[in-house]
Amino acid sequence: MAMMRLRREDPRVVGSFRLHRRLGAGGMGVVYLGSDRRGQRVALKVIRPDLAEDQEFRSRFAREVSAARRIRGGCTARLVAADLEAERPWFATQYVPGPSLHDKVAEEGPLSAAEVAAVGSALSEGLVAVHEAGVVHRDLKPSNILLSPKGPRIIDFGIAWATGASTLTHVGTAVGSPGFLAPEQVRGAAVTPATDVFSLGATLAYAAMGDSPFGHGSSEVMLYRVVHETAQLRGVPDALAPLLSACLAKDPEERPSTLQLSLRLKEIAAREAHGLTDTRAPAPRRESDRPSVGRSAEERTESQAHRRASGSGTTGAQRASGARVGQRPPAQRNTTRPGRRPAPRSGAGRPASRTTGTGRRVPANPRLLRQRLVVFVVVTLLVALGIAAAQGCQGPAQGFGGAGSPRSAEVGGAVAAVKSQAVTAGSSPTATRPGRSTEKLALKTTPPPAERR
C-alpha cells in the first residue's frame, strides 16, 4: 500500500495512536498509518469533517463498527479500537502489509488462472463469514482487497450494511464503484449476499483480464452497462469463464452462493496449480512397462511374449489374446531370457509324447527305437568287458589265464561276436527281435573239452 507524508491539516495524534503516514483517502474519510504505545501498527480511519456533522451518517458509521466487531475469521482486518463519540468519529484496525489487488495487477499484469482461483477461493470463504455475521459489504472492488503474506484481506466496510436494515440514500455519499456495483444496487433495490457475489465476480474478472468486464466510461455509462449489457470475459481463462459469468448474472437468484463459489474455486485452483507443474498428462502405463521387481517369472515371461506377439501380425495378436495374467505360458513359447542358458527339464532324454486332436496317442518314431537299441547293446558290451577283465585277473590262480590260452581266445571271440551283433542291430531293423538277438549274444560258459578232467 502506497504511503504519503502527512499534510498540514492532518492530525498527528488520534486517541492513543500516533499517526505517521497517509495510506489513502476515500468518500468517507482518510486512512492513516499509526501505532500505539507498544509499537503495534494500525490502520486508522477518520471520517470527513462535513460528514461528522450528519447524525444520520454517524449512525451509519456506528453500524459499520458494530459489523466489524461481529465478523470472525482472518478474512478481514481485526478491529482494534474505535471512538464513535469523538468530534470526528474514528476506528482503528490491524494493519495489513501488502499491495492492493488493483495495484498488483496494474504493476505486474493479470494474474494466472491458478492465482485468480486461489485469491477468489479465499475471498469467497471470507464472505461466508461476513454474511454469517449479517453484514453485506456492498463495495467489493480490487482496491479494497489487500494481498497480505497470509492471504487476501477484505477492507473498507465504509458502506457496508447490515442485512435487513433500511437503505440510506444520501446526496454526495458514495454507494459503490461503477463497474463493480450489482444491478440491484444501481436500481436502488434491497441488497443481499448475492450483491457481494456479483462484485466479487467483477473483481476476479479484473484480476484475470487486467480490465473491468464492463469497460471504461463515465459513471452513467458504466452503470447502464452493469444493468443492461452482458459482461465481457474474452480475456478470462476458460477454466474460470463459466463460473464468473454465473456470478455476473443480472438476476441475483441465478448467482451461486458464496459457499458454492468457494468450493468451486478451490477445485479450480487445485487443478490449475497441478497443470502449471505438469502440463502434459502422463500416458497410462501398460502392464508390460511396469518394473519387473516383485513380479513372478511367469508374469515377466508372459509380458515379453505379449510384446513379441503384438508386433508379429495377426497370428501373434491371436496368440497374445489368449494369454492371461498369472497363467503359465504355452510350451511353444521361448521362456528363457536373453543371455541365460535354459534350465534342463525333468523330461529331457525321453521322446515327447504326442496326442492327436481325437486324444489317441501316436507311436514313437522307429528311428528313435533303433537309437535306443544301440545304446542298450553298447551298455551290454561294456558290462561283458568288465566281467571278462575281472575273470582275466583271476585266471592265473584258477587255470583260466594267459594271453594265449584257449579261454582267452574264447572270450575274445565272444566279444567280437557282440561287436558284430551291435553293428548288425544298428543297421537292420530286424535285429530288434528279442529271440534272435538272445541266441546270437549267448556266450559259451562251459570249458573246452581239452581242459575237462
User: Residue 337's pLDDT is what?
Assistant: 42
The gap between the terminal CA atoms of the chain, to the nearest Å, is 140
Asked if 247 and 99 touch (Cβ cutoff 8 Å), the reply is no
Higher pLDDT, 398 or 250: 250
Say if residue 413's pLDDT is above 70. Answer: no
Lowest-confidence segment of 122-131, 148-157, 296-305 by average pLDDT: 296-305
Q: Tell me the C-alpha to C-alpha distance, in Å, between residue 40 and each of 52, 91, 92.
A: 27, 15, 11
- Say how many C-beta atoms besides its own lie within 10 A of residue 399's C-beta: 11
User: Residue 395's pLDDT is what?
Assistant: 54
Q: Cα–Cα distance between 64 and 15 in angstroms, integer? A: 19
% of the chain with per-residue pLDDT over 70: 62
Q: Cα–Cα distance between 373 and 426 in angstroms, integer? A: 8
Q: Cα–Cα distance between 139 and 159 in angstroms, integer? A: 7
Higher pLDDT, 347 or 5: 5
Q: Cα–Cα distance between 261 and 116 in angstroms, integer? A: 13
% of the chain with per-residue pLDDT over 90: 42
pLDDT digits (tens, 9 = 90+) for 325-343: 344 444 444 444 444 444 4
- The amino acid occupying position 388 is A
- Please state whether beta strands 90-94 and 41-47 pair in parallel, antiparallel, or not at all (unpaired): antiparallel
Say if residue 147's pLDDT is above 50. Answer: yes
Question: Span 17-39, mean pLDDT?
Answer: 90
> Residue 76: which region, alpha, beta or left (left: phi > 0; alpha: psi -120 to 50)?
beta
Asked if 92 and 34 touch (Cβ cutoff 8 Å), the reply is yes
Q: Which residues contact 339 (CB under 8 A, 6 or more apart)?
A: none
User: Residue 157's pLDDT is what?
Assistant: 72
Higher pLDDT, 79 or 206: 206
Is this prediction's pTM over 0.85?
no
Q: What is the mean pLDDT of the chain?
A: 73
Q: Which residues are catalytic?
A: 139
Sign of torsion over alpha carbons 270, 276, 280, 284: negative
Question: Span 53-62, mean pLDDT?
Answer: 83
- Say how many C-beta atoms besides its own lie within 10 A of residue 269's C-beta: 21
Q: Tell me the C-alpha to C-alpha distance, in Å, between residue 18 and each of 31, 83, 95, 453.
A: 13, 15, 14, 151
Residue positions forming the annotated binding site for ATP:
45
Which residue is listed with cell 551298455? Answer: 379
User: Residue 379's pLDDT is what?
Assistant: 86
Asked if 19 and 11 touch (Cβ cutoff 8 Å), the reply is yes
Question: Span 213-226, mean pLDDT?
Answer: 93
- Say how many C-beta atoms besides its own lie within 10 A of residue 130's C-beta: 26
Q: Cα–Cα distance between 167 and 33 in angstroms, integer? A: 31
Lowest-confidence segment of 191-200, 286-295, 441-450 by average pLDDT: 286-295
Q: Cα–Cα distance between 131 and 140 in angstroms, integer? A: 13
Say if residue 176's pLDDT is above 70. Answer: no
Q: What angle in degrees, to the nearest 10, is found between the helix axes of 406-427 and 366-398? A: 180
Choose from 50-54, 177-181, 231-235 the range with maximum mean pLDDT: 231-235
User: Residue 414's pLDDT is what?
Assistant: 47
Asked if 411 and 447 touch (Cβ cutoff 8 Å), the reply is no
Question: Span 365-372, mean pLDDT?
Answer: 76
Q: Cα–Cα distance between 328 and 324 in angstroms, integer? A: 9
Say if residue 188's pLDDT is above 50. Answer: yes
